[in-house]
Amino acid sequence: MRNEEHIKSFVKRSGRITNVQRYFLKNKKNNHNFFTPTETINLYKLFDNKNPCVLDIGFGDGKLLSNIAKINTNINFIGLEVYESGIGNILKQIEKSNLSNLKVSNIDAVSFLKKYVQNNSFYGISLFFPDPWPKKRHYKRRIINANFLENMLMKIKKNGFVKIVTDWENYGERIIELLDENKKFEKIQDISIYKERILTKFEKRGISQGNRIIDLTYKAK
């Protein structure tokens, strides 16, 4: 994997925080569903079981991820989100549904994978509607590139999956090119845990705008 400078795929903005989100954010350090890694994580210790674990990158408002975790109690989930409103929102949802199989962190995914995750750790990694950075001069900010795919590949188990969904056609086409160029990935049918998933707000907006939803699932050979 080439040693390239890590260009952030996001811009931190001080968005509106609701009172409920603010409450959960204020108390997140004492919330066992929230963690800030300081060393390589041990998934068995984090969840106190040996169930397979899926990493979800950029969960947004958290509704999709918390719903999937609620339905699939035999699978552990880690969710990453850089925006505090999303963290506050999903912590509320976790408490409401009393979920023990979902942990979240407010950390950049590239740093998380490189610094804190052992190789061959995850059953799968998902990215739903990553920021498309639609202007051509900003394409370099897109999180999915050849290096990031290689990084994900190292962190999933053999036959583990990568699932990516976008409604930006040229981004989706580029992702397909990158996955097909990487001979260590093989296109497969959707993973069962996602077959009846709810739609995200970005997905609903994309559909209302007439955008094609590009839903991709590949496994590591």
* SS3 label, residue 216: strand
CA 60/CA 167 separation, integer angstroms: 15
21-24 long-range CB contacts below 8 Å, 24 or more apart?
A: 21/84, 21/85, 21/87, 21/88, 21/89, 21/92, 22/88, 23/88, 24/87, 24/88, 24/89, 24/91, 24/92, 24/95
Is 108 a known active-site residue?
no
pLDDT class for 18, splitting at 50, 70, 90? confident
Q: What mean pLDDT, rounded, does the chain reach?
A: 91
6-10, 75-79, 126-130: segment of lowest average pLDDT: 6-10
Q: Using one digit for the tens of pLDDT, what is the confidence trace for 22-57?
A: 867 777 777 899 999 999 999 999 999 999 999 999
Check 131, 180, 190, 215 and give the catalytic one.
Answer: 131
Q: Which residue has the higher pLDDT, 6 or 120?
A: 120
Does the pLDDT value for residue 11 go beyond 90? Answer: no
Mean predicted confidence (pLDDT) in 202-213: 94
Does the pLDDT value for residue 19 go beyond 90? Answer: no
- pTM comes to 0.90
Domains of the chain: 54-220 (3.40.50.150)
CA 131/CA 32 separation, integer angstroms: 29
Does the pLDDT value for residue 13 go beyond 80? Answer: no
Does the pLDDT value for residue 69 go beyond 50? Answer: yes
pLDDT number for residue 30 = 76
6-15, 77-86, 120-129: segment of lowest average pLDDT: 6-15
12-21, 24-33, 56-65: segment of lowest average pLDDT: 12-21
pLDDT number for residue 22 = 81
